[in-house]
Structure 1
Amino acid sequence: MSGAARKPDRILIVLICAVGLLVVVALAVVFSRGEPKPLDENSPAGVVQRYSTAVIDGDTPTAGSYLTEAARAKCGGYFEGGPRPARVILISTTERGASATVKVSIVHSTQGGLFGPSEYEMEETFSLVKVDGRWMLDQVPFPLMSCAGMPAKP
């Protein structure tokens, strides 16, 4: 009878080992994904990616380098000070000769709250134009507006 009792023990050990191996493989896949690949800096989506990264990182001068003069003019009276988005997800890109639109999903995260952290997202659109052969942001969604040299909210 002891031989019959040991057989289920071996099966249980094999099942536990298999589950443990699956957990290790899943963790390796999740942690090896890393940062998203940079898109071509000469494409509308690549410009939006670099601009959004600069805004999220708080690098206002770099973010401002992607704005057209018309977009910079919209900074009058604008102040920064709200929470930065947690991430920006590319939805689609449409090019039309010397202009383009890039649709993104902007995700905001909050740590507080009655039930713990929460996230919300909104779809927004960037408008780009070619200036001297380079894609520049002509209209930026308000949640990602970053104006170089503008005072922060006190």
Structure 2
Amino acid sequence: MSPSKTAAGKPDRTLVAILSAIALLVVVALAVVFTRGAPEALDESRPEGVVQRYSTAVINGDTATANSFLTESAKSVCRGYYDSGPRPVRVVLISTTERDDSALVRVSLVSSGGGGPFGPAEYEMEDRFSLVKSGGTWRIEQAPYPLVSCTGLSKP
């Protein structure tokens, strides 16, 4: 007689219940992984919403959209231009300090490097965006160097 069958030749109910629970957990885990969408869009009238949209545009190579979030002075001078190395693949909000007409948004920038014996390496650094309020709208005055949008702008 097989250890997984009862005397009447029926499968052990405990084993069937355990296997069913495992299958259910696998299905739920896959559903969670595949239904996770893009991060929630933050309010564009807030400094962190402006930083989110700007960062997304820079990472996606959409210079025109990225430049629409910059102040005129940031558009005219490309300080700290970063032209080598990979762009960050993730930007994580750490904190926001907001005043009447200025704000600092601290972020963590995660970049992925070349592969190694254990897979690609990730590099993380903290930096900040400086924003000013102009005409009631938040604009980026200075961005972290890996996210500076300089294509088509004059460089020092």
Scaled to the shorter chain, the TM-score interval is: 0.7 to 0.9
AA aligned opposite 2:103: A
Any conservation in 1 of the 2:76–2:153 contact (CA below 8 Å)? Answer: no
1:38 corresponds to: 41
- Cα deviation, residue 10, structure 1: 3.0
Q: Could you say what the CA RMSD is over the residues aligned between the two structures, in angstroms? A: 2.3
Q: Which moved more, 1:91-100 or 1:74-83?
A: 74-83
How many residue pairs are counted as aligned between the two chains? 151
| Helix, strand or coil at the partner of 1:101 | strand
| Helix, strand or coil at the partner of 2:103 | strand
2:134 corresponds to: 131
| Helix, strand or coil at the partner of 2:125 | strand
| Helix, strand or coil at the partner of 2:112 | strand
User: When the two structures are superposed, what TM-score results if normalisation uses the length of structure 1?
Assistant: 0.86
AA aligned opposite 2:104: T
C-alpha distance in 1 between matches for 2:84 and 2:65: 18
Unaligned stretches of 5+ in structure 2? none
Structure with the bigger percentage of helix: 1
1:45-69 superposed Cα distances (whole Å, 9 cap, x missing partner): 0100000000110111111111112
1:103-145 superposed Cα distances (whole Å, 9 cap, x missing partner): 1111111342232122121111101001111100011101111
- Cα deviation, residue 74, structure 1: 3.5
Does residue 48 of structure 1 match 2:51? yes
C-alpha distance in 1 between matches for 2:80 and 2:23: 57
| Helix, strand or coil at the partner of 2:65 | helix
User: When the two structures are superposed, what TM-score results if normalisation uses the length of structure 2?
Assistant: 0.85
C-alpha distance in 2 between matches for 1:28 and 1:77: 43
- Cα deviation, residue 94, structure 1: 1.2
Unaligned stretches of 5+ in structure 1? none
